[in-house]
Structure 1
Amino acid sequence: MTPTSSSLRRVPAGAATPQDTPQARRSRRKGSSRGRQALTPWLFLLVPLAFLVTFSYVPIINMIVYSFTDWDGVSPDYAFTGVENYVEIFTRPELFKVFVASLYYLAAAGLQIALALYFATVLSFNTRFRNLFKGILFFPYLINGVAIGFVFLYFFQEGGTFDTVLGLLGVGGEHLWLGDPDLVNFSLAGVSVWRFLGLNFVLFLGGIQSIAPELYEAAELDGAGRWQQFRFIIVPSLRPLIGLTAILAISGCLSVFEIPYIMTGGAGASETFVIQTVKLAFRFNKTGLASAAAVVLLIIILLVTWLQRRLVPEERAVA
C-alpha cells in the first residue's frame, strides 16, 4: 500500500502548524496565567498555615490526647486511662465553683462595652482634643498584662494609691481590696475594664466612621438630634460589631487568667477556671487532668458562642 500524495505533503518552513497558531499560543498563555493566579494565594498562605498548624492545631490535638492519660507532665511515660479524667471533673462540683468569679468579669464586660460605645460615639463627632482622648483610651491595651498586674497590685494595696484618692474625696479608711473576698473580684474586674476598654473602643470607632456621612446629614435635615442619630443610625449599623464584642466578652470572662493570677494568685475567692487548671498541671503534676479541664473549657466556650449566635443572630445582635 503506497502513501497518498496528501500524506506526503510537507508543511513549508516557517509556517504555523495547527497546534502552533497565534490563537493556540494565546490560549496556552491564558491557561498558564490562570494556573499561576490560582497557585499564588496558596503560596502566600503557606507560611501562616504552617504556623497555625504547628502552634495551634497540633497542641490542641496533643492536649486532647493527654486528657485521656495520667501523664504528670514530667515523666516520659504515661498510661491511657480512658475517660477517668472527665469523670473526675464532672463528679467534683468544687471544680466548677470557680466559674462564680467569671460572673464578675461578665458584668464588667457589659460595662466595658457600654463605655466603649459611649466614648466611640462622642469622639466620632467634632470634639476638642479628641485625638488625645483616643490615645488615652487605647493606650492601656498596648501595655503588657504582667506590667498592668504589678501596677495595680500596688494601686490596691491597703493604704495605697486608691485609698489615698478615696481619702481626698472624703471616703476615709483602709480597705483590703485584694484580700477581702467580698471586694477582690470587684477590684480585679475593674482592672480588666480599664485594660480592654481601648480594644472595644477602637472597634466601635472604626464602625462609626464607616457610616456614610449622608445619613447624618439627612437626619439633621429631619431635625434629629445626637440621641436620635445614635439610636437610629449608629446602633443599627454597629449590631454586627456589638455581637462580636459580646462573643469576645463571654469567651474572655470564662478564660480570665493573667490579671488575677499575677495580683492574687487565685487566693481569696478570685480563682478562675484557668488558674485552677494551671495549678493542677504545674503544682499538683496532674497534666492529664488539667488537659481534660482545658478541653472542657474549650467545649464550654464553643457551646456558649454557638448558643449566642443561635439566640441572637448577627442581624439582630445586641449588647
Structure 2
Amino acid sequence: MLIASAKNQRRLVIIGFLILPLTLLTLFSIYPFFQLIWFSLTDWNGLSPDKAFVGLQNYSRILFDDQELLTPLINSVYYFIGSIIQLALATYFAVILNRGMPGSNLFRMLLFMPFVLNSVAVSMVFRYFLQIDGGLDSLLHLVGLDMLKQEWVQNPAIVKWSLVFASVWRYLGFQLLITYGALQSVPTDQYEAAQIEGAGEWHQFLYITLPSIAPVLGLQLILSTVGSLEVFEVPFLITQGANGTKTFVMATIEEAFEFRRVGVASAMAVILLCFVMISIIAQRTLFDREGEK
C-alpha cells in the first residue's frame, strides 16, 4: 500500500512539473504551427477576418507558377559554403588553442567576442565597413593594396561573398567554442601513445582528433545547414536585399507584410520547414551510415 502511494505521489509530482512547460509548448509552438498550416491553405491578407480556403493553390503557385518566390533559396548555397569554411576555420583554431599556446585565453576571447555582440550592431558596423572608401578600403590603402579595392556591396558579382564574410566573422566564435569543448574531452594518453609510435601532428589529427570530435562536427554541420536556409539579419541590415541578396526568409516576410499575402507567406514558411527537415534527415542518415562503417 505504501509502495503504491509512493508511486502515485511520484506521478503527481512529475505531472505537476510537466503541466507548465507542456502548456507553454502548446501555446507558443504547437498551436502556432497548426495555425501556420491553416493559413497556408487560405488566401488571408493578414487584416480581413475572412479566410477563403484555397487548398494547395499557394503551394502550387510557389513551386510551379511563380519561380521568383523560390529564387532566393539559391543565396542559401553561398551561406552554406561559407558555413563549411567557418567550420574548417573553427576546427583549425580550436586544435591550435587546445595545445595551450601562450595567450590562448585572450585569442579565444577575441574570436568568441563577435558572437556575443548585438547582431544589429555587428551588421551596421559591416554596412559601413564594406562601403566605398569605408573601413575595408581604408585598411587596404594603409597596407598598400589599393588595387584590391572593390565595390563590396554594390557589385552584384561579389556582394554575396561580402555578406558571407560578415556572417562567418559573426558566428566563427560560436563554433570555435563548441569544437574546443569537444577537444577537451579527448583523452591525452591517446596522443602520448601516438607520439611514442612516431605519429606526426597530421596523423594525430586524422586518426585521433577527427574521429573523436566527428559527432560534434556533424551536429555543427546540421546547424550550419539550417542556419544557411534561415539567414535574415546580415543581408537585411546591410543591403536590404538589394543586388540579388534577398534570402528566402526575407522574401517570406515581404510577401506577408508588404504585399499582404499571408497565405502565400505561410506556405513559403511551411516549404522552408520541409527543406530544413529534409536536410536534417539526409545528413543524419549519412552520418549514421558513416558511423556504422
TM-score by length of structure 2 reads 0.93
Distance, in Å, in 1 between the alignment partners of 2:179 and 2:212 is 10
1:263 corresponds to which residue?
Answer: 238
Q: Are 1:243 and 1:314, in contact at CA under 8 Å, matched by a contact in 2? A: no
**Equivalent residue number for residue 66 of structure 2:** 92
Residues 28-177 of structure 1: pairs in structure 2 closer than 5 A: 28-90=1-63, 91-172=65-146, 174-177=149-152
Confirm or deny: 8 A CA contact 1:73 1:281 kept in the other structure. yes
Answer with 252-261 or 32-41: which moved more.
Answer: 32-41
**C-alpha distance in structure 2 between counterparts of 1:276 and 1:268, whole Å:** 14
CA distance in 2, matches of 1:40, 1:185: 53
Q: Distance in 2 between matches of 1:124 and 1:239?
A: 16
CA distance, structure 1, for counterparts of residue 170 and residue 236 of structure 2: 15
Per-residue displacement from partner, 1:5-39 (whole Å, max 9, x unpaired)? xxxxxxxxxxxxxxxxxxxxxxx333333443444
Q: How high is the sequence identity, in percent, across the aligned residues? A: 40
Q: Which runs of 5+ in 2 are unaligned?
A: none
SS at match of 1:313: helix
What residue in structure 1 maps to residue 207 of structure 2?
Answer: 232
Decide whether aligned partners of structure 1 residues 266 and 135 sit closer, same or farther in structure 2, where only a CA change above 3 A counts: same
| Distance verdict in 2 for CA 1:44–1:144, change over 3 Å | farther
Aligned mate of 2:179, from 204, 207, 210:
204
For 1:44 and 1:64, locate their aligned partners in 2 and report how far apart those are by CA, in whole Å.
30
Alignment check: 8 A CA contact 1:240 1:314 kept: no
Equivalent residue, structure 2, for 1:14: none
Q: Secondary structure at the match of 2:253?
A: helix
Whole-Å Cα distance in 1 between the matches of residues 123 and 75 of structure 2? Answer: 17
**Against the structure 1 CA distance between its residues 284 and 39, is the aligned structure 2 distance closer, same or farther, given a 3 Å change threshold?**
same
Computed over aligned residues only, the root mean square deviation of the Cα atoms, in angstroms, reads 1.8
Deviations 1:215-239 (A, max 9, x none): 2222222222322221111100111
C-alpha distance in 2 between matches for 1:276 and 1:63 = 17
Identify which range, 224-233 or 100-109, moves more after superposition.
224-233
Structure label with greater radius of gyration: 1
Taking the aligned partners of 1:47 and 1:190, their CA distance within structure 2 comes to 42
Which of 170-179 and 235-244 deviates more? 170-179
Task: Return closer, same or farther for 1:35/1:207 CA change in 2, 3 Å cut-off.
Answer: farther
Counting only pairs closer than 5 Å after superposition, residues 286-297 of structure 1 correspond to structure 2 as 286-297=261-272
Question: Structure 1: where are the runs of 5+ without partners?
Answer: 1-27
Aligned to 1:282: 257
What letter corresponds to residue 296 of structure 1 in structure 2? I
Q: Please give the alpha-carbon distance, in whole angstroms, between the structure 2 residues aligned to 1:238 and 1:39.
A: 41
Q: What corresponds to 1:247 in structure 2? A: 222
Query: CA distance change for structure 1 residues 243 and 157 in 2, over 3 Å: closer, same or farther?
Result: same
Task: Say if 1:212 and 1:292 are closer, same or farther in 2 by CA, change over 3 A.
Answer: same
Within 1, Cα distance between the matches of 2:182 and 2:92? 13
Q: How far 1:102 sits from its partner (Å)?
A: 1.1
The corresponding residue for 1:6 is none
- Matched-pair contact (CA < 8 Å) for 1:260–1:266: yes
Query: When you count helix as a share of all residues, which structure comes out higher?
Result: 2
Aligned equivalents of 1:200, 1:177: Cα separation in 2: 26
TM-score, normalising length from structure 1?
Answer: 0.86
